[in-house]
Amino acid sequence: MSTLQFHLLGKSGRLGILLLACVLFGCSGGPLKKAAHDVAEIDLALELYWMTYGRYPNANKVEICHILLGDNIKDQNPRKIPYLEADPSELNSLRQFIDPWGQPYHIEIRELPVVYSFGPDGIDQQGAGDDIKPKTQQAKQGSS
């Protein structure tokens, strides 16, 4: 998300993450780059959550968004750590992260997190077609 930031790492850590995101995805660009940046940040936030608690959240997609924003849903984030920050314009009325086309990002936990945008056409193609997913997720799927 354009203003989505990692809160856990402090100012210098966030600057490093944002700089890395600029290198990987470009600092400016259209909605495709923004969606690619967002899914990478959500995926990384889930990994940071795992590093904190030794597991991924056991929650639905709406609850996962709340947990990553720092809420303690079903005792899933007892330390109330905000792993991400987002502008109100980057959230829908349920406080789900939304992509540049106004659709909620697909976020679920299987064995590993699955995060993607439905892409410009707004059709869920299960991470295929024009759906946009993190490069790390593509690498994990390619190695399985």
Q: What are the domain boundaries of the chain?
A: 10-133
**At the top level of CATH, which class does the domain 10-133 belong to?**
alpha beta
In this prediction the pTM is: 0.78
Q: What's CA 29's distance to the chain center, in Å?
A: 18
Q: Tell me the percentage of the chain whose pLDDT exceeds 70.
A: 74
Return mean pLDDT, the chain. 83
Percentages of the chain per state (helix, strand, coil), in multiples of 5: 45, 10, 45
Confidence of residue 2 (pLDDT cuts 50, 70, 90): very low
Q: Tell me what the mean pLDDT of segment 31-47 comes to.
A: 95
Q: In angstroms, rounded to a whole number, what is the distance separating the alpha carbons of residues 86 and 80?
A: 16
What's the confidence (pLDDT) of residue 11?
Answer: 43
Closest CA to 136 of 114, 104, 111, 109: 114
pLDDT(4) > 80 = no
Model confidence over 47-88: pLDDT tens digits?
A: 999 999 999 999 999 999 999 999 999 999 999 999 999 999
Question: 108 pLDDT exceeds 50?
Answer: yes
Residues 6+ apart with CB under 8 A from 92: 98, 102, 104
Query: Does the pLDDT value for residue 24 go beyond 60?
Result: no
On the question of pLDDT at 14 being above 50, the answer is no
Could you give phi then psi for residue 32, rounded to 5 degrees? -65, -45
Phi-psi region of 81 (alpha: psi -120 to 50; beta: other; left: phi over 0): beta
Whether the Cβ atoms of residue 105 and residue 127 lie closer than 8 Å to each other: no
Q: Which residue(s) pair with 116 in the sheet?
A: 106
pLDDT the model gives residue 135? 80
